[in-house]
Homo-oligomer: A and B are copies of this chain.
Amino acid sequence: MVFEHNKKYIQQFSRAIEEQENAYLVSEMESLHSADIAQILYQLNTAESKYIIDLLTAERAADVLSEIEEDLRNEFLKNFTGEELASFMDHMDSDDAADMLNELSVKEREEVLSSMDNRERANYILELLNYDDDCAGGLMAKELVKANVNWTVQRSIEEIRRQAKKVEKIHTLYVVDDYDVLLGRVSLKEMILAEDDTLIRDIYVPEIAMVHTYQDEEEVAELMQKYDLEVIPVINIQGKLLGRITIDDIVDVITEQAEIDQQMMSGISDNIEESDDIATIVKGRLPWLLVGVLGGLINAQFMGLFEDSLAVIPILAVFIPLIAATGGNVGIQSSTLVVQALANSNIQDSNWERFMKVTSVAFINGLLIGGLVFLFVFVFFGELKLSLVVSIALFTVVMIASLMGSITPLVLDKFDINPALASGPFITTTNDLIGIAVYFFVARMLLNI
């Protein structure tokens, strides 16, 4: 039941805007989720989008703006005055508001913050602006419900009622001491089950997963994923409760990380998107292409040494793509498996066992591929020695590429470099070089050139 925005529907929307059929537009938007409205805005032009947002209540507009993708939000925000933005932020969760403000200039930020009516939220946002985007502090929202450990259930429920308007989703009641130091939590379910005069002290769960403001977003993701959490509290160095991170933001972190890893595997160095401008895309793609080109040129220089051999036995050249491609493919397969095992902290066997397994797999694949290619070359080219050279070189390349592919990510990981780097052009380029060196070495040995 994913909402589908077909072209006809969007055209209908455009026409209604043109003819200012506000009643139709308002009733249509009432039936839509904010995320769906955001997706409609993507397909309208700037003036049309602005028209739609102006028709919404400030609260709804805030929801819709929170849903708009980061890359595109900047464009949208330009359509609104500081005061208009302030009226949206009055209704926005502090984390979403801080994210949005981060995209404005310092001057614009100040203008928006000073125009906000909701002073408490403005202060929250101001605090959040201090944190880096990719740490727990940058992900957290300030809105949460907390109770003192010495209160009764009755008093806590009154507190929830008082605070509930400010907090959209309440997962849990955080329990703190007199100094606001986080002690534990009580689920809403427990609150409903408990008697009114029960003390929070007697029902709260002390053991709790929590993160510090400075912790990396990936650590937060790992923790929440491991313990199946929907929300995690954020504390400062003194243990004071500062905010909470909800799982929806972490799902975005996980998805983004997977995208970055994929791009790294494809030799794209910045995190770019198809919708970025041409200069950004070129800048993101060129570095690794150049590394590949450099590898190719070194290869050309190396093979130049064998120009004479190639003149004597030109057929040697025709198997170069086969050798290079096989080395690259085997290397990338090996490194990807190791990268994934690292990501899952899932390396259980000892180094020796893993080495033996990698070697066995490489041995079997190398033997099968080498054997097959031996037959093919012998049948189609009819030269025994050439068949031997190609198949022995292939076997060796498969063995070496497997080992290289398995070891490189481990080495990168040791040096705190994202091991996914090893699954990209880096390993292909290296294996091209090694593969061709092996090939000519074997040829020289067997063909006496």
Contacts and interface: CB of A to CB of B under 8 A. Distances in A.
B285 A361 contact: yes
A412 interface: no
Contact of A192 (B191, B254, B319, B372): B191
Interface of A: 1-2, 31, 33, 35, 39, 42-43, 69, 157, 160-161, 164, 169-171, 187-189, 191-193, 207, 209-212, 219, 222-230, 247-248, 250-252, 254-255, 258-259, 261-263, 265-268, 272-275, 278, 281-282, 285-286, 288-290, 292-293, 295-297, 299-301, 303-304, 307-308, 310-311, 314-326, 328-330, 332-333, 335-341, 344-349, 354, 357, 360-361, 364-365, 368-369, 372-373, 376-377, 380-381, 423, 425, 428-429, 432, 436
A261 B328 CA distance: 18
A202 B285 CA distance: 56
Contacts of A33: 207, 209, 227
Q: How many protomers of this protein does the assembly include? A: 2
A273 B329 CA distance: 17
A314 B164 CA distance: 79
Contacts of A169: 187, 189, 230
B321 A310 contact: no
B304 A336 contact: no
14 contacts: A43-B348, A161-B193, A225-B255, A258-B258, A262-B339, A262-B340, A266-B333, A268-B333, A268-B337, A273-B344, A290-B369, A296-B322, A299-B321, A300-B318
A365 B259 contact: no
